[in-house]
Amino acid sequence: MGIYFEEEKKIFKLDTENTSYLIGVTEEGYVGHIYYGKRLSAAGGGYLLRTGEYPFTPSVLKREKGAFLDTFPMEYSTGGVGDYRESCLDVKNFMGQTGCEFFYRSHEIVEGKPVLKGLPASFGESGEVETLFIYCEDPVLDLWVTLSYSVFFREDVITRNVKLENKGTSRMFLEKVYSACLDMDNRDFEMVSLHGSWVRERHIQRCALSYGRQNMSSVRGESSHQEHPFLALVTPETTQEQGEVYGMHFVYSGNFIAQAELNQFDQVRAVMGINPSQFSWLLAPRAVFQAPETVLVYSDEGFGKMSRCLHDFYRNHMIRSPYVLKKRPILINNWEATYFDFNTEKLLDIAREAKKSGIEMLVMDDGWFGKRNNDNCSLGDWVVNEEKLTTGLKDLVDQVNEIGLEFGIWFEPEMISPDSDLYRKHPEWAFRILGREITQSREQYVLDLSRQEAVNYAYESVAKILRSANIAYVKWDMNRQLCDIGTVMYPCDRQGELLHRYVLGVYQLQERLVQEFPNLLLENCSGGGARFDPGMLYYSPQIWCSDDTDAIERLRIQEGTAFLYPLSCIGAHVSDCPNHTVHRVTPFSTRGNVALAGTFGYELDITKISEEDRKQIPEQVKQYHKYSHLIQNGDYYRIASWSEKKPYDCWAVVSKDKKEVLVTCVQVLARPNMHSYCIRLKGLDQGQQYCLEETGEKFYGDELMQCGILVSGLEGDFQSKLYYFKSCLEG
């Protein structure tokens, strides 16, 4: 389908619909990167390996092997033998010496894509994806390295992963295992990444690539609020519509590194994988280590095409939930409405009022278990607090169902409170460094999920609650980052395995959950958006985007998130004003329009908001039902960005058949003496005639894209407007 091997040239050619990726093998067996970019007609370009010029390959000039290794465009780099650029694999042998060098031995091309045991990874059937395995050997270590490439033809995506197998009789330690490497000549590349903090996650950052190493990384035990497991190398002219983009995205929910390096010879090396900080893995004889997956995407039509390729890829090949293409229920969450101060009657009052407005689900957030009246106790004690829920959980759920709403519930299974029955019984189940006081965050410790008994306890605690009542949705939270990484479960030379084993424990928990409860709607969360990554999408079709629900702050947060992820997985709610985070007051209509570019729901006390705001909810609900198919499945186009100093923000979603388009425009700051804004649409059928629903006006697609439409009538700050166009042929 898309993978070919030219035996004579020893070149692999991996083709998607619009891209090609070329790998070459030298006479000695070095596996080199030749090309990644716009689709080529043939498997050429072998000269780009530069094996015919100084420094020659070791078979020609052994005395300069070090110079060769330090310049050869490696497909997967190793450390300790002469390549002084960033290595992807560092191995320490039984004598404590670090060095690794592997050589091509054979390869295999298969239809479809095997699963990665214990890890989230993309999937696809024969006809959708084809996979190349390049089998390599380090004959000194008896270490076999399998480089895997899966080609998703239609989405223009290639995924990579690496598997290591110790086939010898001596143990070794993996000190660093990255998942992908991309070596290229520099083309004045700039580096694009996402940065942030709590309540301001995933802001887009772009800077020139300078000499040395520049990286985004996390050592917090999760992908983090602060940095994101993504980087892109882009040519200077790149915009939404033009320029070349090389994107890399890591399918992992723990410590990561995403790094670009510009070296002395104007070569660029981009790498991605598990952060080597605090990482070391014992690879015993016959043992296997599977590294997580990295997603590669190339676009020669700017950021917009990159985003749409990734959106389609994640919808089609990462999200397994039956909700991936289903309309999500409109929920109301009680957190910002009540915090810890609620009881059965208060929740039922919210449910009754919500039902009147067309809301479809009530979610009970933190505070329903143990002795939890604030955040200083009871994590781990997953038993119903019957002082609050006086008639029990099942009765509450039944009553909410009788009102006509589904029911959802909040958990934080990965944490343990010092003041909890679980900690008093099992203090050894918290991560700790012997002799040190455990660092608290939100008065929480971290449950040691490298322990199978802790994983089993956490799972049964959640599953027992879900089995007890008709619960349709779970919000899975994680409200602190990891430190004090230590356990008596493993010897001193294996403490470096704990952070990765923790992540594997999280994956095991969520895999068991979706297997036992396949129809459950699971939403991941970590203090807002600290674990918004492709790994989590494998288990949950939506992730809470940020604890900042202010509509204006959300513009940048949701723009950065939609840069990589489908709108349908972005958890977004309408909240009360003044906003609880920034205390800004924005119109209720604007809060609704911004939340519409996500999963859409409410985070407020519907029994206390103004009558004027309450009356808008049924209309917003109707709006969601009308446009949800576009949000769920449509193509996303960024039209204007407030983050780029525009006074307004604008995006559009176009149906796959190009017969519908929904445009959202938010005026952030009004300006004096300003004309209307001219907005030029994107992604339409040039010859199609479109009707603007609001006025009945008719426009041709090329007219909307070249001449644009005029946005007027937005008077004052934080105003917004929706424009819905439909093919005139559709009636």
Residue 359 has phi, psi (to 5 degrees) of -70, 150
247 and 102 share one domain: yes
278 and 304 share one domain: yes
Which one of 602, 633, 664 terminates a domain? 633
CB burial of residue 421 (10 Å; 0-12, 13-18, 19+): middle
pLDDT tens figures, 554-605 = 999 999 999 999 999 999 999 999 999 999 999 999 999 999 999 999 999 9
Determine the Cα–Cα distance for residues 625 and 181; give it in Å rounded to an integer. 44
In DSSP notation, 390-402 reads TT-HHHHHHHHHH
Mean pLDDT across the stretch 164-173? 97
549 and 685 share one domain: no
Which one of 607, 633, 659 terminates a domain? 633
**What dihedral angle (degrees, nearest 10) is formed by the CA atoms of 41, 46, 50, 52?**
-130
648 and 701 share one domain: yes
Q: First and final CA of the chain: distance in angstroms? A: 40
- Nearest 5°: the CA angle 696, 701, 707 is 90
201 and 339 share one domain: no
249 and 337 share one domain: no
Domain span including residue 122: 3-317
Confidence (pLDDT) at 445: 98
Domain-located, residue 438? no
Residue 364, CA atoms < 13 Å, CB-side half-sphere: 28
Which one of 589, 615, 633 terminates a domain? 633
DSSP character for 64?
Answer: G
pLDDT at 674 exceeding the cut of 90: no
**Residue 126's CB: how many other CB atoms inside 10 A?**
11
Q: Tell me, letter by letter, the H, E, C secondary structure of 595-658.
A: HCCCCCEEECCCCCCCHHHHHHHHHHHHHHHHHHHHHHHCEEEEEECHHHCCCEEEEEEECCCC
Mean pLDDT of the chain: 96
Confidence (pLDDT) at 3: 97
Query: E strands along 45-122, which residues?
Result: 89-92, 103-111
Determine the Cα–Cα distance for residues 731 and 729; give it in Å rounded to an integer. 6
Q: Examine the residue annotation and report whether 349 is marked as an active-site residue of this protein.
A: no
Domain-located, residue 507? no
Mean pLDDT across the stretch 420-438? 97
Domain-located, residue 540? yes
Mean pLDDT across the stretch 471-498? 96
609 and 660 share one domain: no
Q: Tell me, letter by letter, the H, E, C secondary structure of 9-46.
A: CCEEEEECCCEEEEEEECCCCCEEEEEEEECCCCCCCH
Q: Work out the pLDDT band at 57, boundaries 50, 70, 90.
A: confident
pLDDT at 253 exceeding the cut of 70: yes
pLDDT at 26 exceeding the cut of 80: yes
DSSP character for 76?
Answer: S
Mean pLDDT across the stretch 191-211? 97
653 and 565 share one domain: no
81 and 136 share one domain: yes
Determine which one of 477, 548, 576, 649 is catalytic: 477
Residue 436 has phi, psi (to 5 degrees) of -110, 145
Helix 344-357 / helix 611-633 crossing angle, nearest 10 deg: 70
Q: Examine the residue annotation and report whether 657 is marked as an active-site residue of this protein.
A: no
Helices (H), 404-550: 421-425, 452-468, 498-516, 534-537
Domain-located, residue 445? no
643 and 625 share one domain: no
Determine the Cα–Cα distance for residues 161 and 71; give it in Å rounded to an integer. 23
DSSP character for 546?
Answer: -
Partner residues linked to 233 by β-bridges: 191, 246
Residue pair 246/207 in contact by the 8 Å Cβ criterion: no
Q: b/e for 99-122, b at 16 or more Cβ within 10 A?
A: bbbbebeebebeeebeebeebbbb
What is the phi-psi region of residue 311: left when phi exceeds 0, alpha when psi lies from -120 to 50, beta otherwise? alpha
Angstrom CA distances, 370 to 380, 383, 478, 526, stand at 9, 6, 18, 21
Domain-located, residue 219? yes
Determine which one of 15, 366, 448, 547 is catalytic: 547
Percent of the chain past pLDDT 90, that is, above it, reads: 95
Confidence (pLDDT) at 645: 83
Domains identified in the chain, total number: 3
Domain-located, residue 54? yes
Determine the Cα–Cα distance for residues 217 and 194; give it in Å rounded to an integer. 11
- Which CATH number covers residue 627? 3.20.20.70
Residue 184, CA atoms < 13 Å, CB-side half-sphere: 18
- Which CATH number covers residue 673? 2.60.40.1180
Helix 393-403 / helix 344-357 crossing angle, nearest 10 deg: 20
pLDDT at 171 exceeding the cut of 80: yes
Mean pLDDT across the stretch 388-415? 98
pLDDT tens figures, 337-390 = 999 999 999 999 999 999 999 999 999 999 999 999 999 999 999 999 999 999
255 and 154 share one domain: yes
624 and 652 share one domain: no
Mean pLDDT across the stretch 678-688? 96
Domain-located, residue 285? yes
Residue 412 has phi, psi (to 5 degrees) of -135, 75
Determine the Cα–Cα distance for residues 23 and 43; give it in Å rounded to an integer. 9
pLDDT at 467 exceeding the cut of 80: yes
In DSSP notation, 136-148 reads EEETTTTEEEEEE
DSSP character for 578?
Answer: S
Mean pLDDT across the stretch 307-335? 96
Angstrom CA distances, 9 to 23, 42, 582, stand at 11, 11, 61
pLDDT at 731 exceeding the cut of 60: no
- Which CATH number covers residue 178? 2.70.98.60
Residue pair 627/656 in contact by the 8 Å Cβ criterion: no
Element (H, E) at 128: none
Q: Work out the pLDDT band at 673, boundaries 50, 70, 90.
A: low
